[in-house]
A and B are shown apart, each in its own frame.
Chain A
Amino acid sequence: MISKNYRLGMLIGFLAFIGTAVALVLIAFEDSVVFFFTPTELQSKQVNPERRIRVGGLVEDGSTKRGPADAEIRFKITDGNTTVTIRYIGILPDLFREGQGVVAQGYLQNAVFQADEVLAKHDENYMPRNLASAMNK
């Protein structure tokens, strides 16, 4: 039979492994695995221009401009501190609006983000139209 000490040893060993796992996860959460970067994160770190990344933020008011090329669009997104210019050719989702959240996917080249896909991020607020307009007044 297995001795009591042996069982105790195994228990301690197993708890040590679990503890290590929790510690590693906690360390990892300090800079978390993200679906997208914020503009501030984008500026503070060196991103390889060949790496396809996502950047997310709110579309800045009055920054949307139709570009020279067909269906080309430029807009700025912000997280409150930093803005980044995004250039995109294609059709925007219905929910794309100034002041709304978007997530763009593409490559950061010469401080301009060349997006090949723009997704609208919906926030967790649900309300009818008349209430929303009343709140903005």
Chain B
Amino acid sequence: MALFLAVIIRDLQLAKRHGTDIAMTLAFFVLVVALFPLGLSSAPVLLSKIAPAVLWVTVLLSAMLSFDQLFQKDYEDGWLEQLIFSGLPLSMLVLAKACAHWLITGLPMLLLAPLLAVGLNLPSKSYPITIFTMLLGTPVISLFGTLGAALVISARRPGLLITIIVLPLLIPVLIFAVSAIEATGDWSAIRVRLLFLGAILSAAIPLVGIAASNVLRQSLE
């Protein structure tokens, strides 16, 4: 547990020092969402209908931009190597990295989402569900992204590769999240979708923990 917290604190401090990296991801998120009201200014009804999908697709795309550096720097400066040879439990390290990534990018996007939803004319009664889907869905993005980042260490063009690998794995999250928001008012339909999102999240934690730690160990063999 101490290791878990230590890794998170370290990553948060690193993120604080290189603040521009996070700021850029969030700026991308805000900018892309803002493009839709501008492009669809003549069709506000259409805009409010596609708002859940716009919000979620943009969350996915912005998150993709933030993964290529997740392990690359640790790999280059030797920190990762030391950690692997120290014999500490790697799966905990991976989960701590994912957790830190969520705190740095997922949480700010979650907090920004209601503000952007106003700009997209999302009906106000959909707000709580939007927040709920983000709460369950963005950690899954961070987890699968961490796995992707571990897979592409030292690959050619890692950023593009992560996107190709990780986005298909996240399609179910997108489907359940967007359809939950669209089902506003029909509680039983929302409940099912949130249950599925929760199931994906709790299955992703051990799955990514085991898979990514194996990948990291092999990356240095």
Contacts and interface: CB of A to CB of B under 8 A. Distances in A.
Interface of A: 1-2, 6-7, 10, 13-15, 17-18, 20-22, 24-25, 27-28, 31-33, 45-48, 51
Contact of B188 (A10, A31, A48): A31
Nearest to B200: A21
A136 to B, nearest CB: 38
B206 A14 contact: yes
Contact of B186 (A13, A17, A18, A47): A47
A18 B89 CA distance: 19
Contact of B196 (A1, A22, A28): A28
User: Chain B's interface: helix, strand, loop or mixed, by majority?
Assistant: helix
User: Chain A's interface: helix, strand, loop or mixed, by majority?
Assistant: helix
Contacts of B92: 10
Contacts of B179: 33
A24 B198 contact: yes
Contact of B209 (A6, A14, A31): A14
Contacts of A21: 199-200, 202-203
A10 B196 CA distance: 24
Interface in B89-106: 89, 91-92
11 contacts: A14-B206, A17-B205, A18-B202, A18-B206, A20-B198, A24-B195, A25-B196, A28-B191, A33-B193, A48-B184, A48-B186
Interface in B77-96: 87-89, 91-92
Contacts of A10: 89, 91-92
